Chain A
Amino acid sequence: MELSWSTFLLEIVNFLVLVWILKRFFYKPLQSVITRRRQDIEQRLAEAEKMREEAERLQREYEGRMNDWERERQRARADLQEEMKAERAQLEQALQEALQQQRQKAEVIEQRRQREQRHQLQQRALEQGSHFAARLLEQAAGPELETNLQQLLLASLAELPEDRLAELRRQLPAAGEPVEVSSAFPLSADRREQVRNGLQQILQNTVHCHFSEDSDLIAGLRLVIGPWVLGANVRDELRGFARIARGTDRE
């Protein structure tokens, strides 16, 4: 074991050369590549972190939007339900009103129908009663009845109010015509005279009478003085009853 100074010095030089070579061709390029790769990785990590933060921000934003939409949807749904409820109530009220109107209308129609039916029944009853009374009176009518009716007519004329009598008297000369006297049975001369005298007393004027027969009257007289028609016969009375009954029923 001996120390060679030449080897010693050359080894020092050799190692220093090796250090220079490795530093020049090995460490620096490798460190540069490693540094660049680390920078690249850090840049990518930073970009990834940035993207992650952006994604989280978007996620929060979308969640917020979703919550807003959900609240808005629930509010709109509640509003819609309120509107539907109000609309339903309004429609139900309108339907109730329409039903009430229909019901009232139906009741009115029913009442009218019943009144009409009742009126028709009354009318029919009156007509039947009239026919019955007419046939009964036709069989029961006679000169005695007609005499009574004549007296009744003259008494009724005498009991007319004064203003109507005055009106009747004014019509007499204006007509200039004879008083038409119709009877169901032929009048005797006495009865014709009684009628003429009665009329002259009531009308306080000279009266010309034209007597005729009308079996349709059943019994009694009918006087036509100008536009006035004065009746005291069964037919007119029956018609008058029927007219009065119809008028009463219409009211």
Chain B
Amino acid sequence: MNGSELFPSVLFRVGPLQITGTVITTWAIVAAIGSAAWLLSRRLRLQPGALQTLAEGVVIAVEDAIRAVAPDHVKLLLPFIASLWIFLVVANLCGLIPGVHSPTRDLSATAALAILVFLSVHWFGIRSQGLKRYLRHYLTPSPILLPFHLISEITRTVALAVRLFGNIMSLEMAALLILLVAGFLAPIPILMLHIVEALVQAYIFGMLALIYVAGGLQSQQLRQPPQGERHE
């Protein structure tokens, strides 16, 4: 066990940017998902095949999840939330491939996703309600609660990043340790646990992101009548 296995190392540099294994893996994931999506989109039929049925099932499941939390903003939130879930599932499961590390075991990657969630909350909130109405919810029910709102925003974003990073990194580390100690067959249950944990962490991250974004969208909902999916 050395540092390169626990923490991603810089493979090369492009100007000021350090290209690590996490970035390379992420590019590969993006390329794979993008290629699969492009190939699938060329073969869409009204009478779906197995792959199209699976893809439609994924989209409909995400739509249902979003509809349960923010029924008026399904089409608005679908690209971001569904992309989070798909990317996290694939990224978390990458650790099962020998020689490949999950990008989500890198705090930089999880922090980037958490920052995106943080920004998305405000982006969608300001977009749906306007800047003043959105910022006003920080002063409700009392301006005294403003510091607590701000602390909550920061801590939940940090928690989002650290939770995913900690779980996936510890999962890989535990698998590595057991592999080193127990040998050949013992890691199989750990691999099964890896699959479950990867799916659960992806679900938790995506669901929390959905709840945060929906909270930002609906922060002033009690003060205004339903407006439907006006941004869709």
Contact = CB atoms under 8 A, between A and B. Distances in A.
A binds B: yes
B168 interface: no
Given A2-B7, A33-B44, A36-B46, A22 B37 contact: yes
A242 B169 CA distance: 165
Contacts of B23: 6-7, 10-11, 14
B110 to A, nearest CB: 9
Given A10-B23, A15-B83, A27-B79, A1 B34 contact: no
Interface string B28-46: 0110011001101100111
A9 interface: yes
Contact of B59 (A14, A27, A37): A27
Interface in B68-98: 75, 78-80, 82-83, 86-87
Interface of A: 1-12, 14-19, 21-23, 25-27, 29-31, 33-34, 36-37, 40
Contacts of B113: 11, 15
B34 A22 contact: yes
Contacts of A22: 33-34, 37, 79, 82-83, 86
Given A6-B19, A25-B41, 14 more contacts: A4-B106, A4-B108, A6-B20, A10-B26, A12-B116, A15-B113, A18-B33, A22-B79, A25-B38, A26-B41, A30-B52, A33-B44, A34-B56, A34-B59
24 contacts: A2-B7, A6-B18, A6-B19, A11-B22, A11-B103, A11-B108, A11-B113, A12-B112, A12-B116, A14-B27, A19-B79, A21-B30, A21-B33, A21-B37, A22-B37, A22-B79, A23-B83, A27-B59, A27-B82, A29-B44, A30-B56, A31-B75, A31-B78, A34-B60
B34 A21 contact: yes
Interface string B2-24: 00000110100000111110110
B231 to A, nearest CB: 14
A11 B109 contact: yes
B19 A31 contact: no
Interface of B: 7-8, 10, 16-20, 22-23, 26-27, 29-30, 33-34, 37-38, 40-41, 44-46, 48, 52, 55-56, 59-60, 75, 78-80, 82-83, 86-87, 103, 106-109, 111-113, 115-116, 165
A1 B7 contact: yes
Contact of B83 (A5, A7, A19): A19
A26 B40 contact: yes
A94 to B, nearest CB: 81
Contacts of B60: 34
A40 B47 CA distance: 11
B46 A7 contact: no
Contacts of B87: 15, 18
A40 B45 CA distance: 13
Closest 5 A/B residue pairs (Cβ) = A11-B112, A7-B108, A26-B37, A6-B18, A21-B34
Nearest to A4: B108
B43 to A, nearest CB: 10
Contacts of A7: 8, 18, 20, 22-23, 106, 108-109, 112
A100 B172 CA distance: 126
